[in-house]
Structure 1
């Protein structure tokens, strides 16, 4: 064994040890293509004002009725929404939309309805009995997203003649213009 060690020392006789045993990683500057991709991605994030989450969703059954109402929505108002006693002023059909496209379409639809003063709308999402990887995937996300949208005051699965569990009535809050009109109208009465 000492012969091997002696031979090793002879071979290493003229070798100088390294000053440091730490190797600094080589810092390469990003290429022009990488910089362009990064800039485009950052711009896309800045331009995307759609805050609807694509994260975890609580799955609902295809036949399940979905409903939601914010604090302050009176029971009678919610009951009239549920019974389709408010005229449907706008509709959105999400059949055959991918999840990402449905997210964009729903966000744009609700924002547009709110700007135009629409108070009652219907969203057709379908039952999703055969959707993959989970039944009622789109329906589950629509139920989640509507809760996240600030203009949405309440929603409830539609009556059978409007699509039943495959559609949802949506009640929107008044926009600031309609609130001001209401305020002026009621002040004139006093």
Structure 2
């Protein structure tokens, strides 16, 4: 049963409160109004499709000390030898230390796109050896071995020389961009 004292206390506390209109809604703090047009615009447009075709599915594992090497058909042996020996100037670098597989997947794909857009022919990707992990599995090294083979713009790659990171890094040789190919063709036509 409700005490008269409790009822009078409650009446005093709620005195002056007005009933909300039926269609009014309380949204919390008053402040700047929210611009819902931006949200509506984002919701009505289709999300951008991820063009990155590199997968994070299972890959064949390589050991921490394994040497990575790959050469597409058509790459001259002398060119591959110079790449393997680290005799080409490195024009760009990507460091994947402390990255998850998904972060590395995105960064490798974007890095290759950026290299092609900027006419870079030789780059180095530092992935680490993977010998400090509890199971000594070179996870990023294994994925990078697969991803670089799957990218059309990559002509060849090889584990780096000791002074560039050894088995924890890889030299990458890219295709010439259309612009560089045209410049090279024009240069040789003038002879």
Question: TM range, normalised to the smaller chain?
Answer: 0.7 to 0.9
Runs of 4 or more above 4 Å deviation = none
Query: Which residue matches 2:174?
Result: 172
Change (3 A) 1:132 1:100: farther
One of 81, 92, 95 as aligned partner of 2:94: 92
- Using a 3 Å threshold, how does the CA distance of structure 1 residues 56 and 174 change in structure 2: closer, same or farther? same
CA distance in 2 between partners of 1:78 and 1:153 (Å): 9
Give the Cα separation in 2 of the matches to 1:133 and 1:159.
Answer: 25
**Does the CA-based 8 Å contact 1:152-1:171 persist in structure 2?**
yes
Q: 2:143 aligns with which of 141, 162, 174?
A: 141
Q: Which deviations, in whole Å up to 9, do the C-alpha atoms of 1:29-69 show, x marking residues without a partner? A: xxxxxxxxxx98xx55x521110011220100000100000
Check if 1:103 corresponds to 2:105: yes
Provide the C-alpha distance between the structure 2 equivalents of 1:65 and 1:111, rounded to a whole number of angstroms: 25
> Does structure 1 retain, via aligned residues, the 8 Å contact 2:64–2:136?
no
TM-score (norm 2): 0.74
| Structure 2 residue 142 is the aligned partner of structure 1 residue 112 | no
- Which residue does 2:157 correspond to in 1? 155
Instruction: Indicate if the aligned counterparts of 1:110 and 1:151 stay in contact, CA closer than 8 A.
Output: yes
Counterpart Cα distance in 2 of 1:157 and 1:145: 15
The SS at the match of 1:127 is: coil
d(CA) in 2 for partners of 1:134, 1:158: 20
Distance, in Å, in 2 between the alignment partners of 1:105 and 1:174 is: 21
Q: CA deviation at 1:132?
A: 6.2
Q: Distance in 2 between matches of 1:69 and 1:138?
A: 20
For the Cα contact (< 8 Å) 2:148–2:154, is it kept in 1? yes
Unpaired runs of 5+ residues, structure 2, are 1-41
Q: How many residues align?
A: 149
RMSD: 1.9
State how far apart, in whole Å, the 1-side matches of 2:107 and 2:93 are.
Answer: 11
